[in-house]
Amino acid sequence: MHPLSRRRLLLSATGIAGVGALASKGAQAFSTQNDNAEVDALVRNRCTAQNAYHAELVADLVAKLKGHSQTEIEAALATARCPICGCPIA
């Protein structure tokens, strides 16, 4: 009988464990999740001219920057993006 080397033993053990893991359940890299109605509505209306959510983001940002110069506020608004659709908010 030939003694098993450490490398052969580890390769055999990982191979058996890998096959067992694959056989037990499928890949779960992606999953689906149902959005709520509010998120669905925001995504559908993300780039419309009358987007109320973007107006709220602008108002919140202006309120946070109260006390800064108008130039600084305009610069911040120019670079701000919507966290949902990625569009500029102003």
Give 15's strand partners.
none
Comparing CA positions, the residue from 49, 73, 71, 72 lying closest to residue 60 is 73
For residue range 47-64, list pLDDT tens digits in order.
Answer: 665 568 888 889 999 999
Comparing CA positions, the residue from 89, 65, 71 lying closest to residue 79 is 89
Contacts of residue 73, defined as CB under 8 A and 6 or more positions apart, other chains included, come to 61, 62, 65
Residue 80 has pLDDT above 80, yes or no: yes
The predicted structure's pLDDT at residue 5 = 77
Residue 77 has pLDDT above 60, yes or no: yes
The predicted structure's pLDDT at residue 2 = 60
Give 81's strand partners.
88
Least confidently predicted of 5-9, 15-19, 32-36, 38-42? 15-19
For residue range 1-12, list pLDDT tens digits in order.
Answer: 566 677 776 777
